[in-house]
Structure 1
Amino acid sequence: MIKSFEIEESNLSPNFIGSWIIDNSLCNELVVYFENNQANHGQGAAGPNASINLDAKNRIDLRISPKEINLSKNKVLKMYFDNLFECYKDFCDEWPYLKKIARNLNIPGFNIGKYETGQHYQAIHCERVGIGTLHRLFAFMTYLNNVEEGGTTYFDNYNLEIQPKKGLTLIWPAEWTHTHRGNKVIKGNKYMITGHLCFSIDET
């Protein structure tokens, strides 16, 4: 007969969610970049190859490919990722084992998104959900503005609710341990940039 067994509890209870604040002026530039590229906006889908489901995810996305980062017209994207990698280096200093297994991460396509009042990403989800997403190691997100009311990110396994704050940047594991949702924006808009830090295909 199988019985559950309680191991000794540790005094440490990390949630492995890193957090930093980046420059507000960079956030402003990214919002302007989003609004200046409305011709490329699209309704965001809840996951790779997923169909549009507004009950699960209701957000407008500007999808950007990695090859666009270094275009001269996209200097703001290069500046953002320079900041993000500084955050990641700090994350590795906190968890040094990452320096052994995750030295050459890359970024596939990513999104700058906007939620208007009443919109949300209500579906509880994680970032690694099958064979097609096994290469994802971490998710990243930066809030690009302060949200007047609502719009929090809720990590249900940790009962952790994070209020959007301009410049607040998060990095967290892609695994099922970090399921989360984006709660409905009650007042105002919510801008953010989000994507994944992934193992390179040729990495062994």
Structure 2
Amino acid sequence: MERLNTPKPNINPNFISSWIIKPTSLCDSLIEYFEFNQTKQKKGVTGGGLNTEKKDTVDIIIKPKEILLPGNEIFKEYFKELFECHSDYLSQWPFIKSISQKYELGSFNLQRYTPGQHFKRIHTERSGIGTLHRIFVFMTYLNDVEEGGSTFFSHYDLEIKPKKGLTLIWPAEWTHAHKGNILKKGKKYIITGWINFASEA
């Protein structure tokens, strides 16, 4: 894992941190998993259900308990790297440790975009009672994208171009409203989900 300096426009800080996960061959394995498991692929849905006017993707949704199932070993490898990024994120913002010492992984998505597709609507990852448990968002781009497909954070006028292995963590809050810009050429694969406050024992 190699920490990167996320481009920062005039507003600083933006609390978006980035890394390149290593080895980047993990990304190839996650794409292979997506393409091999066609029966698990579904049109992308949001909290409000299927709405291609808002989100136009093909997803595989995976619950945390499924990570340990036979054939899903690649997720254990990926999250080992992601949790290193998460620990580094907490080291950058020590105050977060005073909020909670325990976090847990939520459901997560493997997603594929083809030309013309994107997450069209600017949105936030914590937007109601049902999502209050989310504290961080994570996303890893699994391939280099030929044209388009960037992620746009509207409040910061920040556009991030997909790059294989590039991993982002940011707060799941209205301050980090974002959308996916239209993919113009090639395919775009990502893995994305949430790190949540731990449930009460």
Same-fold status (TM-score > 0.5)? yes
Give the drift of 1:184. Answer: 0.6
1:81 aligned residue (79, 82, 86): 79
Q: Distance in 2 between matches of 1:176 and 1:59?
A: 22
Counterpart amino acid of residue 37 in structure 1:
N
Q: CA deviation at 1:101?
A: 2.1
Change (3 A) 1:60 1:13: same
Q: Deviations over 1:4-43 (max 9, x none)?
A: xxxxxxx982000010001210000000011111101101
Q: What is the TM-score of this pair, normalised by structure 1? A: 0.90
TM-score, normalised to structure 2's length?
0.92
Match of 1:158 in 2: 156
Pick one of 96, 99, 107 that aligns with 1:98: 96
Percent same amino acid among aligned pairs? 53
In the alignment, does 2:141 pair up with 1:143?
A: yes
The higher radius of gyration belongs to 1
Contact 2:11 2:156 in 1 (8 A): no
Aligned residues: 191
1:39 equivalent in structure 2: 39
Matched, 1:21 2:24: no
For 1:118, the equivalent position in structure 2 comes to: 116
Structure 1 counterpart of 2:98, one-letter code: K
What is the deviation of 1:103? 2.3
- Structure 1: 5+ residue stretches without partners: 1-10
Q: Which of 58, 62, 65 is 2:63 aligned to?
A: 65
Q: Gaps spanning 5+ residues in structure 2: where?
A: 1-9
Aligned to 1:130: 128
Q: Aligned to 1:32, what secondary structure does the other structure show?
A: helix
Shift of 1:130: 0.5
Give 1:52 deviation, angstroms: 1.7
